[in-house]
């Protein structure tokens, strides 16, 4: 009886880990996004976020008026969003992008300033 309970528990645990690991489709973020972040110290900020899938890894660039084009340093996957890290001046900041539908994201820059992004290549 203990063996059956142990096997059942192991199967359920495996299924839960598998379901949680598939909560986000990373390819949904591939493409060019036009983002506007409201209320930054320099005024509203427009960003062009380009994300590509290169051999199964997301990479890309961010272009802004202040910094020009900079490379995305890393991308982290959260429950329902991604966090894109890039250099801004002397600092590395993150842009969290959470999809609201196929072509729109809510954004949060440096966990402080909010905005939205629209997919350019629809």
Which pTM does this prediction carry?
0.77
- At 13-28, the pLDDT tens digits run 444 443 344 456 778 9
Residue 7 has pLDDT above 80, yes or no: no
Q: Decide if 97 is inside a domain.
A: yes
What is the 3-state secondary structure of 1-56?
Answer: CHHHHHHHHHHHHHHHHHHHHCCCCHHHHCEEEEEEEEEECCEEEEEEEEEEEECC
Distance between CA atoms of 48 and 112, rounded to whole angstroms? Answer: 19
- At 33-73, the pLDDT tens digits run 999 999 999 899 999 999 999 998 999 999 999 889 999 99
Residue 96 has pLDDT above 50, yes or no: yes
Q: Decide if 19 is inside a domain.
A: no
| pLDDT value, residue 66 | 85
Q: Decide if 11 is inside a domain.
A: no
Residue 94 has pLDDT above 50, yes or no: yes
Q: Decide if 12 is inside a domain.
A: no
| pLDDT value, residue 1 | 57
Q: Decide if 99 is inside a domain.
A: yes
Q: Decide if 5 is inside a domain.
A: no
User: Which CATH number fits the domain that encloses residue 113?
Assistant: 2.40.128.120
| pLDDT value, residue 22 | 41
Distance between CA atoms of 102 and 94, rounded to whole angstroms? Answer: 22
Task: Say how many domains are in the chain.
Answer: 1
Q: What is the domain range of residue 75?
A: 25-119
């Amino acid at each position: 009886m203990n063996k059956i309970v142990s096997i059942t528990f192991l199967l359920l645990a495996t299924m839960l880990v598998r379901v949680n690991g598939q909560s986000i489709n990373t390819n949904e973020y591939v493409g060019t996004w036009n983002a506007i972040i409201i209320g930054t110290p320099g005024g509203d900020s427009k960003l062009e976020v380009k994300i590509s899938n290169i051999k199964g890894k997301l990479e890309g660039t961010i272009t802004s008026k202040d910094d020009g084009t900079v490379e995305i340093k890393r991308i982290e996957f959260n429950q329902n969003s991604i966090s894109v890290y890039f250099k801004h001046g002397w600092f590395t900041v993150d842009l969290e992008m959470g999809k609201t539908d196929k072509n729109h994201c809510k954004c949060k820059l440096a966990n402080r300033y909010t905005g939205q992004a629209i997919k350019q290549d629809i």
